[in-house]
Structure 1
């Protein structure tokens, strides 16, 4: 098995786990954990997007670092690739990844968002972020723009968003397996 094949297998297995966990968590109305799981799936997707926008030699370098359980650094440097680098690249291409990533991070880390059963977690976001999330939910999943952004209104869309990110990831995995470069 080549390093790329092994890397893609890891991405697929992780994605399968995320989808199963997301459904189980959703069934139990653990919406904060669904969002945390979505954030993990998005992590895989932004990594795949980042790799697709690298030439094959640096791509193999990063894949090798993953398989060696090392942090990603630019070849022949100690300069690390950060999540912010990858999210910014994906966001510049798609325009929505930053909002979902930031929301997911708020649920992964201890924050007032964890009190979503008692308080509207979206009040923690700026009006621009709220409008961005609403617009993307509307564009991709027909969320009514007139609705307020709160957990009650958003929760029915969580699995749809997770499924969409997962299906996009599967596409990108196929591109990685085909050694495509610059796919957006």
Structure 2
């Protein structure tokens, strides 16, 4: 019989595998806005998987990780039973690490999930309207993680790096799942 953690991992992998196949097909067809939307979905998975680990308390799972995983698998919802005995949703902004590359990718991706002026990226480069500081952060992250070597950035640069960005997120999810499995083997959190 498959346990709740195994079902959750299967759920994560199913989403990621379908997203990967879709991303590759859409990138080939030059549907870059939708590719960014898929990256945003994959980032959502990364956030949720990362949130299960309580990094501040050391190498352990959050106290509510079992409820979150169980409710994700059984109800399709990311919530837990709080100390007052009520079901509480965990909001995206609560899971998102502020100040890192994840927040920038999340915010940029939201502009292509929700109807916005970013959908006109073929006619007008949305990167041009970004604040200088935000552009510099993107350049820094692309340089650090992917070897980007320019001092300026535009939408075409981002489009060129989409496969590398997607791969990095995908690999991070795989690594975090391995961490969760390892933590669980040590602590038998999920049985």
* TM-score, length basis structure 2: 0.85
* TM-score, length basis structure 1: 0.88
Structure 1 ranges of 4+ moved more than 4 A: none
Q: How does 1:1-184 map to 2 (within 5 A)?
A: 1-53=2-54, 55=61, 57-67=63-73, 68-73=75-80, 75=82, 76-88=85-97, 91=98, 95-146=100-151, 148-179=152-183
The equivalent of 2:189 in structure 1 is: none
Higher relative contact order (CA 8 A, sep 6+): 1
Do the aligned partners of residues 108 and 62 (structure 1) sit closer, same or farther apart at CA in structure 2, a change above 3 Å counting? same
CA contact (8 A) 1:113 1:124 kept: no
CA contact (8 A) 2:50 2:176 kept: yes
The secondary structure found in structure 1 opposite 2:107 is helix
CA contact (8 A) 2:16 2:42 kept: yes
**Unaligned stretches of 5+ residues in structure 2:** 55-59, 187-191
Q: How many Å apart are 1:30 and its aligned residue?
A: 0.9
Which has more radius of gyration?
2
**Unaligned stretches of 5+ residues in structure 1:** none
Name the structure where helix makes up a greater proportion of residues.
1
The secondary structure found in structure 2 opposite 1:117 is coil
Instruction: Let me know the Cα RMSD of the aligned residues.
Output: 1.9
Alignment length (residue pairs)? 176
